[in-house]
Structure 1
């Protein structure tokens, strides 16, 4: 099964919610792509939109996740 990736987005362009632990980015449909910080830590890099079929690849290094982990403390 091949994934249909709409775009590749740098992690710095996402907004982070320290309460839900979700990184989000606006989707063209009006909703937001979302991926959990935990998923990124596990090596997953695909954020999905809950309202449409679009997906984006999150471009990041493991070191990039530290800035978000610090917000949790």
Structure 2
């Protein structure tokens, strides 16, 4: 799996309603990772789903 960048969790924005951390990608996309994923040991944030016909962006590694 290739990574775009490593981001510290402190640099991400937390959305308490959705219980996710998110971070803007320079390409205009947004990467997110949920609290439950972090608790399960996941440390890679996935890009949001793209509309049909658009290429997927690369995931971002985050320090948990």
Same fold per superposition (TM over 0.5):
yes
Q: Which has the higher helix share?
A: 1
Report how many residues are paired.
58
* Counterpart selection for 1:31 from 23, 29, 32: 29
Structure 2 unaligned runs (5+)?
51-55
**Greater RCO (CA < 8 Å, at least 6 residues apart):** 2
Alignment RMSD: 1.1
TM-score, with normalisation over the residues of structure 2? 0.81
1:59 maps onto 2:63 in alignment: yes
Structure 1 unaligned runs (5+)?
61-73
Structure 2 matches for 1:1-73, cutoff 5 A? 3-50=1-48, 51=50, 52-60=56-64
- Could you say which residue in structure 1 is the equivalent of 2:53? none
